[in-house]
Amino acid sequence: MQQPSTIEELQEIVRQSPRVHVRGGGTKSALSSGAGVSMEKLTGVIEYDPSEFTFTARGGTPVREVETLLSGSGQYLPFDPVWVDQGATLGGTIASGLSGSGRFRYGGVRDFILGLQFVTGDGESHAGGGRVVKNAAGFDFPKLMVGSRGSMGIITQVTFKVFPRPQRYATVRVKVTSPLEGSALLQKLARSSLELACLDYQPPGEVVMRVGGLASALARRVERITELVALPVEVLLDEEEQGVWRAAREFSWMPTEDTLLKIPLLAGQIVSLEAMLSSIGLASTPRRYSVAGNVCWLAWPADRGPADLVAILSKLDSRAMAIRGKPWGVLGSVRDAEFQKRLAQILDPAGKLACRY
């Protein structure tokens, strides 16, 4: 495994190698399978200005290091990056395009990137965006890199905007009797004015939501949730409350040997997906519907191939990306693959940068 410690070393590796597959912290094994270059030495925060709510760091910097830094000034990354405790990096988070349950209220990782630097397939270093919020000059390379899985360039430096951390959170759990009831409740809550920070459904029967803000206003906000839900609720606070969302972002609810899939869908499709999983004997496979049901995190059993999954995706007119486990890449409908390939031909004319379409 090659470990460049400078951008110049990385550029030389790219120029000299017929194929370059990079990994960050190795937390997304299905995406980093076969990687020959590690970014673990291209790390460190370059600049942090709490008064401007921005920081700049190298691509291999662990998100955990950044979170620790931000917490000292009462700030945080609201998109709720995943696998922080296990070593996820800033570059890997952007390249995979993964956000956690906090994406519901504030948007995903793409909404917090102000600028970045990257090395293209010809070994050249380029930059896009800037270090301030009001910057709209040039082509929007930062957005292009989100979810590109390294096919457009290797991220070497990034600037993020951050938010003030809420004083306190509360989590509300609601028991439901079926996927139909769970889906209906998700949609009802998503359309409400409650300003929830997170809104997930975990089969077979639990809708869980998070609200954060001023500690003095939290009790009334929980009361409003209870009134709208009109069902018995359980309210969690402090350490117990934090543990719920830590487990969600670290995916501790799924078996480590299974393949973790990310499936985009609509809340109205939950019932159909649940029925299809039951029809193939996967009614009990671990899964979680996040961001008000717009993302399904599905643990696909280690002893099953992708054939049934592809059939399900076809019926949903959707696709899935393998994040951990089997390196299946993207399965199902990939309508924008041609556009991605045309961009890759410009940024990676020799086809050196590894990516599965």
pLDDT of 259 > 90? The answer is yes
- State residue 357's pLDDT score: 37
CATH 3.30.70.660 is the classification of domain 7-164: no
- Alpha-carbon span 130 to 204, nearest angstrom: 45
* Lookup: tokens for 183: 């889906």
Domain boundaries, the chain: 7-164, 168-250, 259-332
Q: What is the pLDDT of residues 200-256, one digit of tens each?
A: 999 999 999 999 999 999 999 999 999 999 999 999 999 999 999 999 999 999 999
Q: What is the pLDDT of residues 33-91, one digit of tens each?
A: 888 999 999 999 999 999 999 999 999 999 999 999 999 999 999 999 999 999 999 99
CATH 3.50.50.60 is the classification of domain 168-250: no
What DSSP character marks residue 53?
A: T
Q: Is the CB of residue 21 less than 8 Å from the CB of residue 2?
A: no
Percent of the chain whose pLDDT exceeds 90: 84
* Average pLDDT rounded to a whole number, residues 261-277: 96
R_g (Cα) of the chain, nearest Å: 21
Q: What is the CATH number assigned to the segment(s) 259-332? A: 3.30.70
Closest CA to 60 of 74, 46, 77, 76: 46
| Same fold across 7-164 and 259-332 | no
- Alpha-carbon span 185 to 190, nearest angstrom: 8
Q: What is the pLDDT of residues 132-180, one digit of tens each?
A: 555 555 568 888 899 988 888 999 999 999 999 999 999 999 999 999 9
Expressed in angstroms, the distance from the first to the final Cα of the chain is: 24
Instruction: Output phi, psi for 9, to 5 deg.
Output: -65, -40
